[in-house]
Amino acid sequence: MDKLLVSAVIAGAFVACGADGTVPADSRVVGDAAGADAVEVPCECAPGDGCGLNACGAECGDCSAGRVCLGGVCEAATACDREGMSAFVQRAALVRTEGEGATLDYRADSRASAPFERLVIRSYERLGGPAAPGTYPITDDGYADCALCVLAYQGCTQAGCARTFLADAGAVAIDTISGGRFEATVRAARFPRRASSAWSASRLPPR
């Protein structure tokens, strides 16, 4: 087993809105994660007050102050329960195992002491998850089956977190994943709240 520790720089754009903590993604970018045929999606921007990125990664525009981009359209920021997270402590590891391929584990905490928020990106190459630069979709597969898993935690201590979210839409654009460095952007991720709050703040739930 080869283990490569990588420093991480990540820019996030994600929101949790509405009564159930969800919003439509700004864009759905569907790429080729493991040699399979890519799925073509329209590249048009939303008509009228369009914003964010379209499915081909082109800019559709920005929202004015007090508004956020939801589903490719600018809406009032008051509709959102939460928008974004600033990463204070970051770490990443890329582990390659014979017969299993690579597993990427990236974690970012909003602060060094409790309570803190955490963003986790995990990719399983054996399930078709990415291990190379490119733009990859976040799909609604559930944690048991996701090849590219993006999770968010709120109200965390070393013992655990009060709230757990698993992204079901959006995309992860990986710029660098070699030479001791991991750079990526989370685009328009949507985090509906999950029923379980027992997942640990220091590790992912078992698979």
Angle CA 174–121–80, to nearest 5: 100
Q: Are residues 168 and 88 both part of a single domain?
A: yes
Q: Are residues 11 and 88 both part of a single domain?
A: yes
More confident residue, 84 or 147: 147
Q: Dihedral, CA atoms, 104, 110, 115, 120, nearest 10 degrees?
A: -20
Q: Are residues 99 and 146 both part of a single domain?
A: yes
Q: What is the rounded CA–CA span in Å between residue 164 and residue 153?
A: 5
pTM beyond 0.75, yes or no: no
Across the range 73-89, mean pLDDT stands at 67
Q: Are residues 154 and 179 both part of a single domain?
A: yes
Q: Are residues 8 and 66 both part of a single domain?
A: no
Q: Are residues 72 and 136 both part of a single domain?
A: no
CB 61 within 8 A of CB 47: no
Q: In terms of residue numbers, what domain contains 165?
A: 2-17+82-190
Domain contains 45: no
Q: What is the rounded CA–CA span in Å between residue 103 and residue 124?
A: 5
Model confidence at 36: pLDDT above 50: no
Model confidence at 128: pLDDT above 50: yes
